[in-house]
Structure 1
Amino acid sequence: MVVEEAATDRSPSREGGPGSEPSICSPGVTGLATRRARWVLVVCGVLLVFTVAQVWADAGVLVRADHLLHEAPFRQRWPSLVGAARVTDLVGQRGPTAVLALVLAAVLGVRQRRWRPVVVTGAALLAINLVVGLAKLGFGRKDPAFDDPELFQGGLLFPSGHAANVVLTWGVVAYLLAVYGPLWHRRRALGAGVAALTLLMGVTAVYRDTHWMTDMLAGFLMGAIVLQAVVLLDAVRVELAVGHVLGRLRRRLSAGASG
């Protein structure tokens, strides 16, 4: 949804072709996409509050799901998948994914001769690490090996950093390719790719039993919130810049007509 809305907001310049500086299609389209983005933030925020409330109370359907998945013998039933799960776990690791996103942003920035892709990517990565890091320290949840899903026990599991990273970082990669790169017409495929990686990360964590299910859910939601906020701020900044240029053009035309 983030990628699709961003590409609806801005499409490649007809003169510059793929990879050229994106531009606002129209104020009406931009306003519609901005309203959708705000709704995504609201929905993800409500779901995150609901998740935190159930984990805090140590009761509810989500906590029951935590215990159910923790007790399921996935690794014992499919031991041959342990090696593959270690590999798929890399899709959510901060280091490799952050480097990939920053390299892509730098390449696009050099092609367009501006810092904007790098600034957007850097701000997103900094924000997610700050938000998730503070949340981990504050909630203090231990991993499933301790059989205790309660908060404030001195752990660093809630929310999952891998879950937040997979949504935020791969979402930024898709956003860059759709809005600042040549793949704006592939925005739905990019969004589907991010969703697939998110699902893969969730299945991997459940199989390896490295996180409670609610750790993953909270991480996914935090990643989506930060991603959507960064995209929304970027879209608003573009809209303001275009409005400024159009205002100057109108003033020049008015001055020419009066003269």
Structure 2
Amino acid sequence: MRTERNLTRLDRVFTRLDREPERPAHIDVPKMSRHRLVLFSATLAFYLAIVWAVVITSWLVRLDWQVMFFRPYQQWPEIHAFLDYYVVLGQRGPTAVMVAAWLGWRSWRQHTLRPLLMLGTSLLLLNITVGAAKLGMGRLGPHYATTIGSNEMGLGGDIFPSGHTANAVVTWGILAYLASTPRARRWLSALSAVTSLGVGLTTVYLGTHWLSDVVLGWAAGLLILLALPWTEPLVARAETALFDLRDRWRTRQPVPVTATPGSLAPTAPVLLKPRAPAQDEAPAARETEAPAARETVAPPRPPRAPAHLAPGPHSTRSERTPVTPAGSRRPPHSDRLPRGTAASAARPVTGG
């Protein structure tokens, strides 16, 4: 009998990843270089400067109100329908699904979980940092503004910085961050910059964000991309832990057993160990018990009778006692005698 466990889709995925358990050597993992550290510091300073300019209601807030009163959606209504669809490139759900599909294929080809783990790390940082800033500053949007010329801060809003813009920078910028070659990284960086710039300006066109919201959203997304090299060691440990967990899970699966009828060897008879006689027993008793102690196991039992027969021994047909006596089966009559006797001749003949 041959029993084998059917491979599931998860087993096939792990088998594919096992072909090359280590990270490929041609993949360049970005590091926190001095140039990147300078860019991160400059972007952080710019982020804080935008927040301060809005808090003190500077010229940036007056520019926000001028753009809002300009109402771009009324100036160019012919592109309104297109921009309604284009702004979806900044929504977190659809963009995360599209980028995750691409990075999942990259993980399959490169035999590593790093692309998907980096995407999850960047989105987690985006939700924490941008979400905390939105709730902390509580700025109202243009459609809900209460006082002309006010910065609308601390009124329970959640639009500063722009989540659409920051999400577009991070989601499309992670493709450039994970690029395998410098040329692909340059092209993807330019494409993600244009896409995120268009998403931010689209939100200003639709009137859902102030211009300063979009500028701060660009800075927030860029800060996350520049800080990703600091998370590389943590991602590498997480990848190793996931593969170790996979190995432990696979060791708990039942091992396929292959058995054939010829592989079952007969069991050797078990001999009973002779009992050591007591010192006070007689020699004759020891001799009588010695043969019994060398006996093997009991002989096999006779085959069991079929279920349709009554229990107990059964004899053959020839050994059974006849039910009727030998001879004639006629019932006995007292006035009749067997043929061939003298009485039959003495019986009178009738009819003359």
Task: Provide the TM-score with structure 1 as the length reference.
Answer: 0.74
In the other structure, the counterpart of 1:71 is: 69
User: Unmatched 5+ residue regions in structure 1?
Assistant: 1-18, 239-259
1:37 partner letter: R
Alpha-carbon distance change, 88 to 231 in structure 1, aligned in 2, over 3 angstroms: farther
- Determine if contact 1:34/1:232 at 8 Å carries over to the other structure: no
Worse overlay, 112-121 or 152-161:
112-121
Give per-residue Cα distances to partners, 1:208-239, cap 9 Å, x unaligned.
Answer: 1110111111111111101110145439988x
- 8 Å Cα contact 1:69-1:213 kept in structure 2: yes
Distance 1:46 1:215, change over 3 A: same
Instruction: Between 109-118 and 166-175, report the one with greater CA deviation.
Output: 109-118
Question: What whole-Å deviation, never above 9, does each CA across 1:189-209 have from its counterpart, x for those lacking one?
Answer: 211111111221122112111
- The residue type paired with residue 44 of structure 2 is G
Deviations 1:60-95 (A, max 9, x none): 232122112111131222112211111111111000
Match of 1:246 in 2: none
Partner residue, 1:37: 36
Q: Find the counterpart in structure 1 of residue 295 from structure 2.
A: none
How far has the Cα of 1:154 moved from its partner? 0.6
> How far does the alpha carbon of each residue in 1:8-42 deviate from its partner, in whole angstroms, 9 at most, with x for none?
xxxxxxxxxxx9543559xxxx87x7111111111
Query: Is the aligned partner of 1:99 residue 2:111?
Result: no
| Change in CA separation of 1:154 and 1:172 when aligned onto 2, cut-off 3 Å | same
Q: CA deviation at 1:187?
A: 2.2
Query: What is the CA–CA distance in structure 1 between the aligned matches of 2:158 and 2:28, rounded to whole Å?
Result: 42
Tell me, yes or no, if structure 1 residue 163 matches structure 2 residue 161.
no
The 8 Å contact of residues 145 and 152 in structure 2, kept in 1 or not, is answered as no
Amino-acid identity (%): 34
1:40-59 matches, cutoff 5 A? 40-58=39-57
**C-alpha separation between the residues in 2 aligned to 1:235 and 1:35?**
18
Checking the alignment, whether the CA contact within 8 Å between 2:117 and 2:235 is kept in structure 1 is: no
Hey, what's the Cα distance between the residues in 1 that align with 2:40 and 2:110? Answer: 30
Report the secondary structure of 2:33's partner residue: helix
Separation in 1, partners of 2:60, 2:187: 31
Which residue in 1 is equivalent to 2:186?
188
User: What is residue 216 of structure 1 aligned with on the other side?
Assistant: 214
Structure-1 separation of matches of 2:35 and 2:211:
28
Give the distance between the partners of 2:207 and 2:51, measured in 1 at CA.
20
Partners of 2:114 and 2:191 in 1: CA distance: 24
1:100-139 paired onto structure 2 within 5 Å: 100-139=98-137
Work out the CA distance in 1 between the residues paired with 2:41 and 2:230: 13
Gaps of 5+ in 2: 1-22, 237-352
Q: Which residue of 2 is the match for residue 7 of structure 1?
A: none
One-letter code aligned to 2:26: P
Name whichever structure is richer in helix by fraction: 1
* d(CA) in 2 for partners of 1:115, 1:237: 9
How far, CA to CA, are the matches of 2:231 and 2:201 in structure 1? 32
Change (3 A) 1:111 1:24: closer
Q: 1:21 touches 1:112 (CA, 8 Å); kept in 2?
A: no
The 3 A distance-change label for structure 1 pair 129 and 205 is same
Q: Does the 8 A contact of 1:62 with 1:214 survive in 2?
A: yes
Partner Cα distance (1:195, 1:231) in 2: 19
Structure with greater Cα Rg: 2
Q: Which amino acid in 1 is paired with 2:139? A: R
Higher relative contact order (CA 8 A, sep 6+): 1
Partner of 1:251: none
CA contact (8 A) 2:71 2:207 kept: no
